[in-house]
Amino acid sequence: MTEKSYRDAIRDAMMEEMDRDPNVLILGEDIGVYEGTFRITAGMLKKYGPKRVIDTPIAEAGMAGTAVGMAMLGLRPIVEMMTMNFAIVAADQILNHAAKVRYFSGGQVDVPVVIRGPQGAGVQLSAQHSQTFESFYAHFPGLKVVAPATPADAKGLLKTAIRGRDPVIFLESAALYGMKGEVPDDAGFTVPFGVSRVAREGSDVTIVSYSRMLQMSLIAAEKLSQEEGIECEVIDLRTLRPLDLEPAYASVTKTHRCVVVQEQWKPFGAAAEIAAGITEAVFDELDAPVARVTGEDVPMPYARNLEVLATPHEEHVIAAVKKVMYVNG
Amino acid sequence: MADIIMPKMGDAMTEGKVVRWYKKSGDVVKKGEPLLEIETDKVNLDLEAEQDGTLGNMAAEAGQMVEVGGVLATILGAGEKAAPAPPVNEAEGASPPKDAPARRAIDKKDSIKKTTGEYAEAIDMKAPRIDRTAPAVNAAAAQDDGGWRRSSPLARKMAREMGVSLEQVRGSGPGGRIVASDIKSFQPPTPATQKAKAPSLPPIVTLETKQIPLSAMRRTIAKRLAESTGPIPHFYLTADYDVTNLLSLREQLNEIEGIKTSVNDFIVRAAALALRHHPNVNASWGDEAITQHGEIHIGIAVSTPEGLITPVVRNADQKSVAEISSEVRSLADKAKNRKLTPNDYQGSTFTISNLGAWGIEQFTAIINPPNAAILAIGAASAQPVVVAREGANDIRQIVVRDRMKVTMSCDHRVVDGALGADYLRTLRSYLEQPVRLVL
Amino acid sequence: MAKAKEQTTSATIDPAAASAPEWMDILRQMILIRRFEEATEKEFRKGKIGGYLHVYSGQEAVASGIITAMREGDILFTGYRDHAHALALGAEPRRVMAELFGKSTGLSKGKGGSMHLFDVEHGFYGGYGIVGGHLTLAAGAAYALRYKQTERIAVCYFGDGAMNIGSFHEAMNMAGLWGKAGMCPILFIIENNGYAMGTSVERHSALTDLSQRVRAYNMPTEKVDGQDVFAVRGAADRVIQQIRGTGKPYCIEAVTYRFSGHGAADVVQPYRSKDEVEEHRHRDPIGILRNRLGEICNLTDDDVKKIEEWASAEVAAAVQFAEESPVPEAEELWRDVVAEDGPVPESS
């Protein structure tokens, strides 16, 4: 184990896989000479050369589409989107092509492409640069959607993504890049998709979340424990597709109350899917409606005070937990 | 004088690290000369002197994280004096303390706060969250919702399992929703708060044999009561039941060929069924514990030439009126012929003594140990009763109804007044709505 | 840096390009494609084929002229008017027809249909239904071929209509860019049949010289008579050899004409006159080839009749096979959405 940042864990995963498999390569905007907007790819061009670390034009459809073609021919490309907001430009390549070719070819091709990049709000980047996309991609069969909350998961899940046979949307929380945590050193370390984990045990309320909101939920849970004596069990989904809600079901069976926390907008979001799943699976265990904590249903504003109002915070999680506990205040 | 500050080099940058100083305090520097190297999320770069002068007020050491805008040092022009260095605003949780490993858990949180600095701000602001998509709860509608009780799925499941009727439970959740805690804390309401109209029964409790340890209070009550009134401290409760329907039902039943029931047979079944709701009446006093019995065996006082004997109808709550009737007749015959075996008259958990056939209107019976209670049944007789006229609650009238007085003697060590009263109320439901006896 | 330039290939016979027996094979292939497409229209009308059906009649020389010049291992991407490309690459007619019928014996097990034929074994990496979407895939595939240090090349067909969508420009630019490092061995074919669905080139493109738009991406182009398979094949032989050698992209604009509607359902065609269609029928690529072969190797009407009969029989057999094949099992619905996951491999 070594303490690493989320950012370094992502870079380590890519470099270990590039060392291991010559078919792994990476392409993106300003990832080589410039060394990446978030410096995820620092040092990679120097080590692997321009054929494996490809600086592309500002052409997301081109990046994603060529990567899909590479993947169909047996390479394992990683596409770095400068931010996932820009990946929308490549929606046709991702949704109509990457997600579909295996199926409409009757299984004749694998599409081992990883499309990764940062997302999320928090530093006044306003409406076009602050969005989160997990429910958008998780809607589509044929894709896998990953949203790690810790450096160790970032590394283990990214390695699984690179080694897989399907297109993976790997959503990094920009706000977590500097977060540090213990990461296994073993080059064989991977984290499987579709296996949620209990990030904190508790008996009173189940909180289901992922990515940055998972970390925020843990802070809220500590606060609730210390100040209110309410013990939350916190479930980290890790991957949105495949989605493993079994630990959430087991937890709700114990706590009878559930709060789902997401950064994105409320309508048709991941929390809606998770809440519906819980209602379908363990309806009789619920003592309160599943509560959702989400971002405000508005484009992200620029002004600092408005941005703070638009994003979910610990206080909102705490309020939601109290609400499902039928505790006032 | 010019401050050298940590510059913001990227849109997501909130802090930077001092890598090394090229100059030390007091050094004379020239405009454009590199002073120190800093490291940001994106790049390492040199900060240069913006003017000629002398370096002073060095506020950040190599390796230290400094917030964007934080002063790193000052360049003093000729003749300027170094002001005392302001405390540097060190980025939270950033500098690696010596005992870093021990603080790991805290570090983790801090590092999140560090990278998502808006949290602290948000908590300060305590941003109110108005959920515009939440369904509005109509409080008025919640009160009168056509008999449908709002309740959580878990509360419904618990109520099913515990035999609690949701109608009796008061919901404490939003809009009167019955939630799990309401079921857990549910106590059958006392008569005072019970509406006389449409009485409903307390839950049937699963029977099991168990010992209820004596509490200090219970020991004290027992001791005091026994001291005052002998070994078994008795008290008595009398209820007056309307048995018009019961008598009519008996008549109907007896019209069926081969069935000949007595009023007492109905009372035996009613008493037994009522005990299912109040297992703490179906109990016995012991010096170490009160025993609640897992089965309901009703002793029936039968007079014989030799005296009183109480043969037992076993598991009376599980037998129909007709079955009870034939069993009682057979036991009475055996008693008169002295053919009862100990098995026939031992092991009762509750006893009924009926002197109605003797025309006794009301009497008190002595408890048959180790029972905790006995019912003394008087004769049913026609009585004038004031009732509301059907369909017109404000108009009262006198009608003739068959009434019957029942007196319950209780062992106060086991059965308190309210409990005995509860039992008699449950018994009323069975006797006055005798259709329950044939269900 | 050499400036991109356009060549125009005239319709001259290049005896070195293919031998007489090979021209006979090409004729057979083109006639088979024509008969096949006629059958698909017929079966579409009967309701045996669902969805969209885009037939290729009139453009056969563009498919056959290029594809017969490809080598084993080369790969091809195209749009949704893709039956001819699959057949020319060697896909079994009966499996193509079965796919159109939505049968389990189809190339894609009945899950792709007319627009998504795939036959990876024969180098066919698919028909795609989003205009222009596949161009980027093809460019990336070409990169992969060179990355793996092979001499294989990629061929990518698209129509004139695809040239107005963003991904065309992104693909062309990236191919041109990667070609500078010899990392993009790809032949782009503009199948310029004059119409983007029902909108003519004049009405859909600011610049009607389509090749000129490609040259903007530092890619050499040439324009060929797409009705003359000799011209197409002649250009293909030369250009493919060049691409294989240099790893640089190249673009051929084949000027052609589609005899059928845009889709089989496109019965009323207000965007073009019957006279215009008739006029172009005089330049039927099969007729042109047949006449030339009459001159070169004394091909007789009898010979052609025999080929027609063979092709008709092949197509009839394909239809029968498709007809008799079972529909996909319900289980097939859930297969191939994602890979059947095993444990994460330790090494690949």
Q: How much is the average pLDDT of A143-157?
A: 98
pLDDT at C14 over 70: no
Q: Is B152 in contact with A319 (Cβ distance < 8 A)?
A: no
Q: Is C189 helix (H, G, I), strand (E, B) or coil?
A: strand
* Whole-number average pLDDT of chain C: 92
Measured distance CA(C325)–CA(C110) in Å, rounded: 11
What is the pLDDT at residue C238?
96
Tell whether B107 lies on the interface with A, counting CB pairs under 8 A: yes
Mutate: best of C89, C108, C109, C143, partner A, most A CBs <10 A: C143
Instruction: State the alpha helices, DSSP H only, in chain A.
Output: 6-20, 44-48, 60-72, 84-87, 91, 101-104, 134-138, 151-163, 211-228, 246-255, 270-282, 304-310, 314-324
Tell whether A329 lies on the interface with C, counting CB pairs under 8 A: no
Tell whether A151 lies on the interface with C, counting CB pairs under 8 A: no
* Whole-number average pLDDT of chain A: 96
Measured distance CA(A2)–CA(A185) in Å, rounded: 7
Q: How much is the average pLDDT of C266-278?
A: 88
A250-253 long-range contacts, CB within 8 A, separation 24+:
A251/A198, A251/A206, A252/A206, A252/A278, A252/A282, A252/A285, A252/A286, A253/A282, A253/A285
Look at residues C162, C150, C101 and name the one whose alpha carbon lies nearest to residue C324: C101
Q: How much is the average pLDDT of A21-33?
A: 97
What is the pLDDT at residue B225?
59
Write out pLDDT tens, residues B377-386.
Answer: 999 988 888 8
pLDDT at B227 over 80: no
Tell whether B181 lies on the interface with A, counting CB pairs under 8 A: yes
∠C126-C132-C136 over CA atoms, to 5°?
Answer: 70
Write out pLDDT tens, residues B15-44.
Answer: 888 988 998 888 999 988 889 988 876 677
Measured distance CA(C128)–CA(C79) in Å, rounded: 5
Name which residue leads in pLDDT, B113 or C279. C279
Tell whether B157 lies on the interface with A, counting CB pairs under 8 A: yes
pLDDT at A98 over 50: yes
How is residue C226 written in tokens? Answer: 């797409």
Q: How much is the average pLDDT of B282-307?
A: 86
Name which residue leads in pLDDT, B15 or C320. C320
Chain C (74-103) residues lying within 8 Å, Cβ to Cβ, of chain A: 75, 77
Q: Is A68 in contact with C137 (Cβ distance < 8 A)?
A: yes
Write out pLDDT tens, residues B342-352.
Answer: 888 888 999 99
Name which residue leads in pLDDT, C340 or A321. A321
pLDDT band at B56 (very low <50, low <70, confident <90, very high): confident
pLDDT at C155 over 90: yes
Q: How far is C241 from chain A (nearest CA, A)?
A: 21
What does the CA dihedral A217, A222, A223, A224 come to, rounded to 10 degrees? 80
Tell whether B439 lies on the interface with A, counting CB pairs under 8 A: no
pLDDT at B13 over 80: no
Catalytic entry in B277, B278, B297, B412:
B412
What is the pLDDT at residue C16?
53
Mutate: best of A21, A24, A66, partner C, most C CBs <10 A: A66
pLDDT at B92 over 60: no
Look at residues A308, A310, A248 and name the one whose alpha carbon lies nearest to residue A273: A248
DSSP secondary structure letter of residue A91: H
Q: How much is the average pLDDT of B75-101?
A: 57
Write out pLDDT tens, residues A172-209.
Answer: 999 999 999 999 999 899 999 999 999 999 999 999 99
Look at residues A137, C7, A98, A296 and name the one whose alpha carbon lies nearest to residue B129: A296
Chain C (191-210) residues lying within 8 Å, Cβ to Cβ, of chain A: none
Q: How much is the average pLDDT of A122-151?
A: 96
Contacts of C116 in chain A (CB under 8 A): 104-105
Which has the minimum average pLDDT: A277-281, B135-139, C131-135, C240-244?
B135-139
Tell whether C181 lies on the interface with A, counting CB pairs under 8 A: yes
Q: Is C337 in contact with A142 (Cβ distance < 8 A)?
A: yes
Measured distance CA(C105)–CA(C88) in Å, rounded: 19
Contacts of A211 in chain B (CB under 8 A): none
Q: In the annotation, is A60 catalytic?
A: yes
Measured distance CA(C207)–CA(A203) in Å, rounded: 69
DSSP secondary structure letter of residue C119: B
Q: How much is the average pLDDT of A24-36?
A: 96
Q: How far is A327 from chain B (nearest CA, A)?
A: 10
Write out pLDDT tens, residues B96-152.
Answer: 444 433 333 333 333 443 444 444 444 444 445 565 655 555 444 444 445 567 899
What is the pLDDT at residue B14?
78
Q: How far is B64 from chain A (nearest CA, A)?
A: 16
Contacts of A37 in chain B (CB under 8 A): 10, 42
- Which phi and psi angles does C106 have, rounded to 5°? -70, 165
pLDDT at B175 over 50: yes
Q: Is A106 in contact with C109 (Cβ distance < 8 A)?
A: yes
pLDDT band at C344 (very low <50, low <70, confident <90, very high): very low
- Which phi and psi angles does B183 have, rounded to 5°? -70, -45
Cβ proximity of B56 and B25 under 8 Å = yes
∠C143-C148-C150 over CA atoms, to 5°?
Answer: 90
Cβ proximity of C219 and C172 under 8 Å = yes
Share of chain B above pLDDT 70, in %: 76
Contacts of C339 in chain A (CB under 8 A): 102, 110, 164-166
What is the pLDDT at residue A90?
97
Share of chain B above pLDDT 90, in %: 21
Strand partners, B65: B17
Share of chain C above pLDDT 70, in %: 93
pLDDT band at B302 (very low <50, low <70, confident <90, very high): confident
Name which residue leads in pLDDT, B177 or C8. B177
Name which residue leads in pLDDT, B203 or B371. B371
Q: Is C312 helix (H, G, I), strand (E, B) or coil?
A: helix
Catalytic entry in A16, A17, A29, A60:
A60
What is the pLDDT at residue B40?
75
Q: How much is the average pLDDT of B387-405?
A: 80
Would strands B234-242 and B392-411 be described as parallel, antiparallel, or unpaired?
A: antiparallel
What is the pLDDT at residue A320?
97
Measured distance CA(C39)–CA(C315) in Å, rounded: 7
What is the pLDDT at residue B188?
67
Chain A (10-69) residues lying within 8 Å, Cβ to Cβ, of chain C: 20-21, 23, 25, 50-51, 56-57, 59, 61-62, 64-69
Write out pLDDT tens, residues A252-277.
Answer: 999 999 999 999 999 999 999 999 99
What is the pLDDT at residue A229?
95
Q: How much is the average pLDDT of C84-88?
A: 98
What is the pLDDT at residue B220?
62
Measured distance CA(A213)–CA(A194) in Å, rounded: 18
The CB density around residue B379, as the number of other CB atoms within 10 Å, is 17
Write out pLDDT tens, residues C173-210.
Answer: 999 999 999 999 999 999 999 999 999 999 999 999 99
Mutate: best of B11, B116, B129, partner A, most A CBs <10 A: B116
Q: Give me the DSSP letters along A35-59.
A: --TTSTTTTHHHHH-TTTEEEPPS-
Share of chain C above pLDDT 90, in %: 85
Tell whether C345 lies on the interface with A, counting CB pairs under 8 A: yes
pLDDT band at C232 (very low <50, low <70, confident <90, very high): very high
E strands, B333-380, are 350-354, 373-377
pLDDT band at B94 (very low <50, low <70, confident <90, very high): very low
What is the pLDDT at residue B210?
80
Q: Which residue of C has its CA nearest to A74?
A: C144
Would strands C199-200 and B392-411 be described as parallel, antiparallel, or unpaired?
A: unpaired
- Tokens 């606060």: give the residue: A223
Q: Is C335 in contact with A107 (Cβ distance < 8 A)?
A: yes
Helix (H) or strand (E) holding B65: strand B65-67
Cβ proximity of A212 and B116 under 8 Å = yes
pLDDT at C168 over 90: yes
Which has the minimum average pLDDT: A289-298, B58-67, C5-14?
C5-14
